[in-house]
Amino acid sequence: MSSNNKYNTIRPLAIILFLYIIGTVFGKFVNINLIFLFIILVLLLVISLISFLKQWDITTALLFLIIILIGMFNFNLNSKPIGANHIINFVEDKKLTIIGTVLDRENYPEQEKISLKVKVSEIEREDQNIRAKGLMLVNIYTGNCPYEYEYGDVLKIQGRLVKPISQNNFREFSYELYLAQKRIFVYTNIWQQKDVQKIGEERVNLLVSFSLSIRNQIKNIIGQLLNPPGNFLLIGMLLGEKTFIPPEIKEVFIESGIMHILAVSGLHVGIIAVALFIFFNSLHLPKKIKMILVVLILIMYASITGFRPSVVRATIMFSLLISGKLINRNRNLYISLFLAAFLILLINPLILYDAGFLLSFMVTFFIIYLSPIFQELFSKTITLIRYPLSISVAAWLGIFPLSAYFFNKVSLISIITNIFIVPLAGIAVILGFIIFFLGLISIPLASLIANIDYYILMLITYLAKLFSSLPFSFVYVAQPLIFSFGGNIFL
């Protein structure tokens, strides 16, 4: 990386991110009292401040040490339940009555399961109520539920609390880690309808309930106007909700290497940002208002999609780039990428083990870093194909090791597939949003667009099928050796 003055802010940011990640990784093995560690952190910060004022040589080393310690501290703060009245301290071998508020709901149609994320407020015992806190997962297996539990519902749950089993074998799916990433440390399974009762409602957060209602409206309008599987595909592309997409289509998408268009990603955020800029330009809005509006709408979209790591990354990056432009700073993709990663990991360090997060950042980093190099390499090819090809190759290089590690399957055809499918997916997404907005006004008008979009979606599926059926479109790979070593340490 060139270290001329123009880039001088990159270097420390990359180092900070690196040291912080090291801290979080080691935090898993270090079990220190959080208050003790916090006091040490404050002391070290004071010392480094003094050392900076006196211009001692150790300032840099001290700052780096603090960053590592912050990583350790934050990992321990997030990976373990804290507080004596946390719900995890009430786990016992009999049914408890718990009162809490629904924060999130997820449907698993193939398992006939509904999972509710519940914020616990009270535990009811025979003669007394105990104020408790923390999150828990409530898995409801009662088949067809007569009542759809929504965000903000206060429920009275009778169930036995269970701690998720930890990973026993290396690379086995760890339910414990999966739940811990959401700060959930206990769950309960409900088999009878009478064990869950709605006893009230509580509107917790206006932004969340508003985005949920928009989310439901998008699902309604699109589910109504497109024929399956087009509607499921489009809902997946707009909202990242893949639960209803038929498994055979998912398989084809994975094999042709275009699954990322179904996981809401930076691509979508980019499309929305560009579409919004075009729209606002036509309204002749002042530059500042235009940019603030775009950032607000992007945050709204991140909230609608449920703050997935890839969307949050893209939203933070775009917001930083846009605000950088506002204060007339030279925009820098690396800074925004590293800062986005740092912010996300600061809020929840366990996201580091999330495949979506890793893929999103690796691919973005490789695209930013390598695609200019490839563009020069491919300079002899036609200009029209040079740009998409270099991005596609760079992205593939980023995905390759992670895909081998997480899925033991690497798509070779994806370099070519993406050149064709990404623009098509872009059109499908834009049309999807147009369908939604038209659907709010007039359904017949929207169904006109929906028909066009349906054919585009079918074309995408057809192309994906075609490419995945080619010989050597994808290969199964053994897990790369170096990653198994790395994985043993990291996971």
Partner 1 sequence: MFNLFNQEKITIIFLLIVIIIAFGIILFRNFNFEENFTINPPVNSLEDNSTVRIEIPPVIIHITGAVKSPGVYQLKSTDRVIDAVKIAGGATEEANLDAVNLAAILRDGQKIIIPYRISKNSIAENNESIYKNIEEMYSSSNTDKININTANASTLQTLPGIGPVLSERIIEYRNQNGLFGIIDDIKDVSGIGEKKFEGIKELICVQ
Binder to partner 1 among 108, 147, 191, 437 (CB under 8 A)? 191
Cα 437 to Cα 209: distance, rounded to the nearest angstrom? 19
In the DSSP assignment, the letter for residue 20 is H
**65 contacts partner 1 (rule: CB under 8 A):** no
Number of residues that bind partner 1 (CB under 8 A): 49
β-bridge mates for residue 137, sequence order:
117, 187
Smallest distance from partner 1 to CB 60, Å: 5
Number of C-alpha atoms within 13 angstroms, CB side, residue 98? 33
Q: Which amino acid is at 316?
A: I
**2 contacts partner 1 (rule: CB under 8 A):** no
Binder to partner 1 among 30, 85, 243, 381 (CB under 8 A)? 85
Cα 457 to Cα 193: distance, rounded to the nearest angstrom? 39
Q: Which two tokens stand for residue 273?
A: 């940002």
Contact 282, 276 (CB under 8 A): no
Cα 160 to Cα 92: distance, rounded to the nearest angstrom? 7
Cα 394 to Cα 364: distance, rounded to the nearest angstrom? 9
Binder to partner 1 among 199, 327, 441, 478 (CB under 8 A)? 199
Binder to partner 1 among 2, 4, 31, 128 (CB under 8 A)? 128
Show the binding pattern over residues 21-60: x = contacts partner 1 (CB under 8 A), - = does not: -------------xx--x--xx--x--xx--x----x-xx
- Only one of the segments 141-149, 172-180, 321-329, 383-391 lies at the binding site for partner 1 (rule: CB under 8 A); that segment is 141-149
Smallest distance from partner 1 to CB 9, Å: 8
Cα 85 to Cα 69: distance, rounded to the nearest angstrom? 27
β-bridge mates for residue 154, sequence order:
101, 200
- Only one of the segments 192-200, 311-319, 428-436, 449-457 lies at the binding site for partner 1 (rule: CB under 8 A); that segment is 192-200
Q: 41 vs 368, which CB is nearer to partner 1?
A: 41
Binder to partner 1 among 93, 110, 127, 376 (CB under 8 A)? 127
**144 contacts partner 1 (rule: CB under 8 A):** yes
Please report the DSSP string for 436-478 in residue order.
HHHHHH-HHHHHHHHHHHHHHHHHHHHHHHHHHTSTTSEEE-P
Binding site for partner 1 (CB under 8 A): 8-9, 12, 16, 34-35, 38, 41-42, 45, 48-49, 52, 57, 59-61, 63, 66-67, 70, 73-74, 77, 82-85, 99, 112, 122, 124, 127-133, 142-144, 191-194, 197, 199, 346
